Chains A and B, each alone.
Chain A
Amino acid sequence: MRHTTTTLALLGLVVGAVGCNQPTVGHFGDGAYYHTRGHYRIRYAGDDPELLPPTRWRLTNYGRDEETGQPTHAEPGHYGYSRYDVAWLTGQPRLSRHSFSVPTVDLHYAAREGSGEIWVRTMVLPTAWRNASAGEALHGALQAVGNTQLPLDPLGHRFAPSSTRITSYGPATIDERQGHYTELEVEGAGGDTQRVTLVALRPGGHEYRWHRRHHFPMMVVFGCASAPGDHARVRADLERLVRRVDIRR
């Protein structure tokens, strides 16, 4: 009995120590940001992780090493986690007791000056959407804008809009793959308007593995939002970032 207790204590110690090292979203490697699920990376503009977007942007969802100042570990912070109900994703009521959470944003940047934010989000999609194109999935997900009950809001639940309008949309090509872009105008309850650009991509061949028998399709959304007057500059920085995205073959 004593040996069993000692063995279990050692095992717990090891598992605990190992668990502390598991990245939850992604990491800043040598030359690129890599998502933990391995479906995409974003190369730095130079050798510095600070140059993922230009230095006028501040990374907000990562903690930093106290000595080097380099981003080290994800801190979802107030963006939190999106909770996915497995029964809802699969359409199988027998799985109603199961759910899992995914950080709402992979990366989030705020403008150091002026308005604006840039984010990257990996969303888990219902299995019924497995064959949907990026455009179909993005427009379907836009139905969840501002609805905190649904985890699919491509804006990451950052807005509680009184009205949302699509101003333009169309196909986009990201890393030689067919994607989709959509522009929105989101009006808040206080009457302030934000202009939003979303670029969506389905990382075909990569699925979110929740269980060995349950894999879910994913969609990556690159987005930016700002006041209308700042949006051309913000969107240009988003474009520079998305141009350096590689999808793993």
Chain B
Amino acid sequence: MSPRRITAGLLCAAAALASSPAQAQEWVEEATAEPADLRPEAAPAEGVATDLVPPAPSEEPPQLAPPPSDDFESAARALTAGQPTTPRAGGPWTLDDGVTTEDVPWDDFDPRGDFYPRGGVHWGLELRAGAIPTTSLSTQERPQFELGGFVDLRYSSHSPWRMRIGLAVSAEPYRETNLGGGAFVSSSVTAIKLRVLPLSVDVGHNFGFLVGPEIGIQIAPGPIEPRVLFYSGGTLQLVGRTDDGRLEIGAYVSMVMTGVSRLERANFGVGTRRSEHFEIDAVLGVSGGYLF
């Protein structure tokens, strides 16, 4: 923006407002007649007309060049001084049908733009069926099933962002592999997971994207005795929804840290050694859920 344009804009705005406070007070002082009855059949009052100052002409389209705010303060003060305080005969123009928000609740849900289901909090059930297709443990590929419940919280009524907190129980077939040399690898079969998905977002009305961490415990039978292992991972889920937002069908990728019990019997069973560690496996699957 050139300095010339800025200067022109400032001058133009100042000229437009310089006479405004006085003019505004003039309106009020000259308006001595009763205000008109604004009902349709009534005519506006005669004899109270007051000219407004037309805007200052500008040689070129000016940029917005706001005047100092104290100009407006002056205008407000001038108007305050002359503001009519005595209602006209019959009182103020009443534009109120008497219906309140208690009579008609404030429901600002936008049926065409907002996200279903209505309301900020819902609970739901979800079933997942997945597979652990690859593994670094030399265990066999195996399926995994999961059933869980969740609470779904929308951050605000118009926001597509939501958080889902769920508790799920998963199960997979027990797998034990003899690695030779007296070493066995066994996978966990049962897990209890707390799932927190704070970055869930609706994409349009019919799709959703959910991502977040999981923590939990999982129970591994183990070659000798059951072991309880801590678990942490994450999940990423893409779902399609029905128009009412209640039924979800989706696909997910989950990360599983499979707990492993390893039993090594060296020297023909003399000096048995057992250890546990974690290995990361991916779970791919499909999910179905319903929000109540």
Residues of A within 8 A of B (CB): 14, 17-18, 21, 23, 27-32, 34, 36, 38, 41, 43, 65, 70, 72-73, 83, 85, 87-91, 99, 126-129, 132-133, 135-137, 139-140, 142-151, 161-176, 178-179, 181, 183-185, 195, 197, 199, 232-233, 235-236, 239, 242-246, 248-249
Closest to B157 in A: A38
Known contacts A21-B160, A88-B67, A172-B93; 13 additional CB pairs below 8 A are A36-B158, A87-B66, A135-B79, A140-B24, A147-B55, A147-B56, A150-B66, A163-B54, A183-B36, A183-B38, A184-B52, A199-B95, A249-B101
Residue B181 CB within 8 A of the other chain? no
Closest 4 CB pairs of A and B: A88-B66, A170-B35, A91-B69, A236-B40
Quick check: A30 and B109 within 8 Å, CB to CB?
A: yes
Is the C-beta of B268 less than 8 angstroms from some C-beta in chain A? Answer: no
Question: How far apart are the CA atoms of A171 and B36 in the complex, in Å?
Answer: 11
Q: Which residues of A contact B110 (CB under 8 A)?
A: 23, 27-29, 34
Would you call A70 and B112 a contact (CB within 8 A)? yes
Footprint of A on B, CB under 8 Å? 9, 12-13, 16-17, 20, 23-24, 27-28, 31, 35-36, 38-41, 44-45, 48-56, 58, 61-70, 72-73, 75-76, 79-80, 83-84, 87-88, 92-97, 99-101, 104, 106-115, 158, 160-161, 201-204, 209
Q: Between A and B, how many residue pairs show CB distances below 8 Å? A: 229
Question: Could you tell me the distance between the alpha carbons of A148 and B204 in the complex, rounded to whole angstroms?
Answer: 38
CB distance from A75 to the nearest CB of B (A): 14
| Chain B residues with CB below 8 A from A178, complex form | 92
The A interface is mostly helix, strand or loop, or mixed, namely mixed
A29 to B97, CA, bound (A): 20
Question: Which of B64, B70, B95, B209 sits near A242, CB closer than 8 Å?
Answer: B95
Asked whether, in the complex, the Cβ of A239 is within 8 Å of the Cβ of B44, the reply is no
A18, B160: Cβ atoms closer than 8 Å: yes
- A18 to B208 alpha-carbon distance, docked (Å): 11
Cross-chain pairs A/B with CB under 8 angstroms, 23 sampled: A14-B203, A17-B203, A21-B204, A32-B104, A89-B69, A91-B69, A127-B69, A132-B79, A135-B79, A135-B83, A136-B80, A139-B28, A145-B55, A147-B55, A149-B64, A165-B50, A171-B87, A173-B95, A232-B41, A235-B40, A236-B40, A242-B95, A244-B97
In the complex, chain B residues whose CB is within 8 Å of the CB of A161: 52, 54
Q: Judge whether B51 and A136 touch: CB under 8 Å.
A: no
Tell me the minimal C-beta distance from A100 to chain B in angstroms. Answer: 12
Most buried by A among B56, B76, B84, B204: B76
Chain B, Cβ-Cβ closest to A189: B54
The answer to whether A243 and B97 have CB atoms under 8 Å apart is yes
The CA of A181 and the CA of B95, in the complex, are separated in Å by: 11
In the complex, which residues of chain A have a beta carbon less than 8 angstroms from the beta carbon of B69?
A: 88-91, 126-128
